[in-house]
Amino acid sequence: MQTRTTPGAMLKAMREKPPLVQCITNYVAMNIAANVLLAAGASPAMVHAAEEAGEFAGIASAVTINIGTLSTQWIDGMQAAAKVATSTGKPWVLDPVAHYATAFRRNAVADLLALRPTIIRGNASEIIALAGGESRGQGVDSRDPVEQAESSARWLAERQRAVVAVTGAVDFVTDGERAVRIEGGSVLMPRVTALGCSLTCLVGAFAATVPDDIFGATVAALSTFAIAGEEAALGAAGPGSFSWRFLDALAALDAETLDARARISAA
C-alpha cells in the first residue's frame, strides 16, 4: 500500500484522485486560486451563494472560507457551508483576511470561529490579532514577522482545537502540541495579490486528500508553495512573470522533488 506520510506522497495521492474543493473566496482571488488548484492537481469550485453553498458542501470533499470581499449575503453562504462541513466531518479552512480592520469583519470571523474550522490559515498580522494581540497589519497585508505570531498561533490552536498555519518569510504550523517551521518561497510572493488566499484553497485540497492527518496535510500544502515559489523566482523578472511561472512550477513539481527539497523543521 502506498504511504501518504510525506508531502510528496500526499501531493501524488491528491493528483491520483483530485478532490473537489469548495472555495468560498474573494473576488480578487477567485481566478488565481482556481488556477493554483488546477495546476497542483485538485478540482476547484467557487460556490458561495447562500441558496446553494450548504448543499454544495454536501458534495465537496473540503470547504475553504475566506472573508476577503465580504457582504451579508456571502456570510450566509459561508455559514451554511461551514455548518454542513462540520456536521458531516469534512475539513474546512478559515482565512480571516484583514479581520481586524472593521467591526463587520471581526463579527463575521467570530461567528465562523464558533463553527469550528479544522484549519485556520492567515498571515502573521491576522493570527496575532485573532489571539487578541496588537497587530500592525495594514488592510490585507501583514506588517508583522511570523516569529512574533508563533505564540498567538499556539494559543489559538489550543483554544480552537484547530491546526493554525501562519505564513510569511518562514511559515509556522501548529496544532497546539506539535509545531514546525517551513522555509522557502520568495519575496515576490507577497507582491502578487491573492497568493495567500490561493494557498488557503490548496490547504483545503490537501486536507481533503488526507483528512486523517490535518497537520501533515497543512504542512504539505505550505511546503508545495515554498518549493514552487522558489522555483518560479529563479527566472522571474518581477511579480508579473513570477505569477505565471508559479503556476507552471506548481504543475511541474513532482513528489520526489518536493520531498527532496522541502525544508521542514521542528519548532
Ligand X SMILES: Nc1ncnc2c1ncn2[C@@H]1O[C@H](COP(=O)(O)OP(=O)(O)O)[C@@H](O)[C@H]1O
Residues that bind ligand X (CB under 6 A): 123, 142, 167-169, 171, 185-187, 189-190, 195-196, 199, 225-226, 229
CA 73 → CA 66, 161, 206, 245, 255, distances in Å?
A: 14, 28, 28, 35, 40
- Per CB under 5 A, does 137 bind Mg ion? no
CB of 194 to ligand X, least distance (A): 7
Which has the closest alpha carbon to 76: 97, 48, 104? 48
Q: Is 46 marked within a binding site?
A: yes
CA 219 → CA 70, 183, 224, 230, distances in Å?
A: 28, 11, 9, 16
What's the angle, vertex CA 228, arms to CA 237 and CA 192, rounded to 5? 50
**Which residue is closest to ligand X by CB?**
196
Q: Is 167 marked within a binding site?
A: yes
CB of 24 to ligand TZP, least distance (A): 13
Beta-strand relationship, 171-174 and 163-167: antiparallel
Residues 52-81 that bind ligand TZP (CB under 6 A): 68-69
- Per CB under 6 A, does 108 bind ligand TZP? no
- Per CB under 5 A, does 196 bind Mg ion? yes
Contacted entry of ligand X, ligand TZP, Mg ion, none for residue 26, CB cut-off 5 to 8 Å set by kind: ligand TZP
Residues 79-98 that bind ligand TZP (CB under 6 A): 97
Q: Is 209 marked within a binding site?
A: no
Residue with cell 514546525: 180
User: 162: which 3 cell numbers?
Assistant: 484547530
Please identify, using beta-carbon distances, which residue of 192 and 214 lies nearer to ligand TZP.
192
- What does the alpha-carbon distance between residue 122 and residue 181 come to, in Å, rounded to a whole number? 15
- What does the alpha-carbon distance between residue 63 and residue 46 come to, in Å, rounded to a whole number? 10
Residue with cell 478559515: 94
Strand segments (E) across the chain = 20-24, 43-45, 62-66, 92-95, 119-123, 163-167, 171-174, 179-183, 263-266
Contacted entry of ligand TZP, Mg ion, ligand X, none for residue 68, CB cut-off 5 to 8 Å set by kind: ligand TZP
CB of 192 to ligand X, least distance (A): 9
CB of 117 to ligand TZP, least distance (A): 16
Task: Kindly list the residues in this chain that would bind ligand TZP in the complex (CB under 6 A).
Answer: 26, 28-29, 68-69, 97, 140, 193-197
Annotated binding site: 46, 121, 167, 194
Task: Kindly list the residues in this chain that would bind Mg ion in the complex (CB under 5 A).
Answer: 97, 196
